[in-house]
Amino acid sequence: MSFSRLAGIAGLGFVAILVVANLLLTTAGLPTPSEAASRDEITAVFAAGAEPLRLASALLPLAWLLATIFAVGVCVCIGRDRRTRTDPWSLVGLAGVLMQSVVFTCVEATRLALISAARHDGGVDGLWGLYTALFGFNQVFLATALLGLSMFGIRTGAIARWHAGTGLLAATLLFLSATTSPYGVGSVNPLALLGLAGWLLWLVWIVAYSVILIRRAPEPAVPPAGPDAVAASSYRSP
């Protein structure tokens, strides 16, 4: 299997895991960033819904691995015809994907800490504030990934204008929501719904990019270097 196809499948797998994980969080009753919740409500959710929350967190290490394979696939396979230099926008996008994985690891760690705090009556308010802040600020790295890989795709001619436009719109919405995330700590982010819309567009954008990677023709084999290769290249049939 070519790496391009593998990266495309990884992108689809990443989206599938995110959908399943968020369904588990919804089942557990976890408040969304656009919902106000009291300490008692938050404590009740984390005390009663520990198993769905743990399962959602357990799925995410695989999601981060798949996201990395997807991003590298876009950078390498989409830009393979431009061997003379590395497009800086591809590096911006790759950095965004890697940073969102790092920050969301902290989000998940805080969520698991909340389960323990809710069951032992300790520090729920502070941990929930940390969780909300990390979750909100993480959107800037999603925006960075969308911006970089959308610009890279349109510059190489690999993606359509609607696809790039979807990515740039999602990046704008996520960045705006990230900017106002400090107001969501202890309250409700006034632009939380913009962040949700941007996240949904991000999923559509990944699926579209994944299809492009899967359909992309495999890279032709490069002939081996060395004396044998020189001899072969100098041979001409009569």
DSSP state of 184: G
Kindly give the residue spans of alpha helices, DSSP state H, lying in the chain: 3-28, 39-48, 50-73, 88-119, 124-137, 139-156, 161-179, 192-215, 227-234
Predicted TM-score (pTM) of the model is 0.84
- Residue 172, pLDDT above cutoff 60: yes
In this predicted model, what pLDDT tens digit does every residue of 34-81 receive, in sequence order? Answer: 777 777 888 888 888 778 888 999 999 999 999 999 999 999 888 665
Average pLDDT, the chain: 85
Nearest CA to 132 out of 17, 42, 50 is that of 42
Q: Which amino acid belongs to residue 150?
A: S
